[in-house]
Structure 1
């Protein structure tokens, strides 16, 4: 991941929080010498220092995924930044954004790990008032569905984070940007306040 040093974050706890906040990511790998990507939800297992997900077996990316180097990109909030917001307009537009890259070798989840991963996905995303649980699903049906997916995990040992929030600009300019972003209702304004 390329970025200006002003934007790089090596704070592992912060990067994990970003992954948890934006769990729907893009999985990149190589299949038959061509790049391939799939958009998937991921779960963080902090106790094991890994992320996990699942992919449909009929997806050709699943054919060559296990034991291969992969890249998972988590994209957070972003916003176009107009030079018209600056005190002087003698520069060019830019884009403020949050992203985390996790790379490593994909490992297969065993059946019990896959079931736990799917249950954790439900636990994290079903509304608190939801009555849905795996207990209401016919076990035979669930087993058929589980046999059609490939669960996999990836270590969090190699993470790179970018939090680009105009840190290389003056305080006055950053305040102007925040004001415009707040007028637009952009969540990037809150990111900029955190990165002051």
Structure 2
């Protein structure tokens, strides 16, 4: 990403929060055939993700593991949080240049291939993680034999993040008055309303409101 020191996001816990709230990640590999990208849900390994450590558990559908040459080299995962257009009409008079606010993290590591048992456990955890929020949750335990057959079409991975590069570009270069107008517009009903992005801005500019 563009090197913008005043937008740097360096706190591992904030990166973990970004992933918890936005688990649909992009995985990018530089392979012998060129660049390959895929999109999958990843969850934090909460027990292992402490201090500066970030460990992710996920899976790929076969044969994506072949396309990515999985486990043979480093890959990059991209986590994308709320993002949106910021109109200069929300700025001070005379300011005419728009921008795009976002929260984004690039994470690098070499995937470890999970065993079949670890993979089914990871898939079970993934399903239960999201199903807990619905009225009548369903899980792999309802039909273990069928679930194991389906799981054979996937390959589980663990990724221990070796480094990350993250940005929270949220109008930190604007005055408090302009920030208030931006937040109000994002929370309004206009064409670029984005309450999620407004919440991220409040976290940066007034943590008491988050």
- Specify if TM > 0.5: yes
Corresponding residue number in structure 1 for 2:148: 143
Is the Cα contact below 8 Å between 1:23 and 1:43 reproduced in 2? Answer: yes
Deviation at 1:193, TM superposition (A): 1.2
Deviation at 1:60, TM superposition (A): 6.2
Alignment partner of 2:73 out of 58, 68, 77: 68
Corresponding residue number in structure 1 for 2:40: 40
Deviation at 1:121, TM superposition (A): 0.5
Corresponding residue number in structure 2 for 1:188: 197
RMSD: 1.7
Greater than 6 Å deviation, 4+ residue runs: none
Corresponding residue number in structure 1 for 2:29: 29
Distance 1:136 1:129 in 2: 16
Corresponding residue number in structure 1 for 2:161: 156
Deviation at 1:62, TM superposition (A): 4.6
Is the Cα contact below 8 Å between 1:104 and 1:155 reproduced in 2? Answer: yes
1:42 aligns to what SS in structure 2? strand
Q: Is the counterpart of residue 13 in structure 1 residue 13 in structure 2?
A: yes
TM-score by length of 1: 0.91
Unaligned runs of 5+ in 2: 50-54, 206-210
Corresponding residue number in structure 2 for 1:51: 56
Q: Is the counterpart of residue 125 in structure 1 residue 130 in structure 2?
A: yes
For residues 75-100 of structure 1, give each alpha carbon's deviation from its aligned partner in whole angstroms, at most 9, with x where no partner exists: 11011011111112334110001112
Higher relative contact order (CA 8 A, sep 6+): 1
1:195 aligns to what SS in structure 2? helix
Unaligned runs of 5+ in 1: none
TM-score by length of 2: 0.85
Q: Could you say if the C-alpha distance between residues 62 and 147 of structure 1 is closer, same or farther in structure 2, counting changes exceeding 3 Å?
A: farther
Deviation at 1:15, TM superposition (A): 0.9
Distance 2:181 2:150 in 1: 52
Distance 2:61 2:101 in 1: 33
For residues 16-75 of structure 1, give each alpha carbon's deviation from its aligned partner in whole angstroms, at most 9, with x where no partner exists: 011010000111002333111111000100222310111111236555111311001011
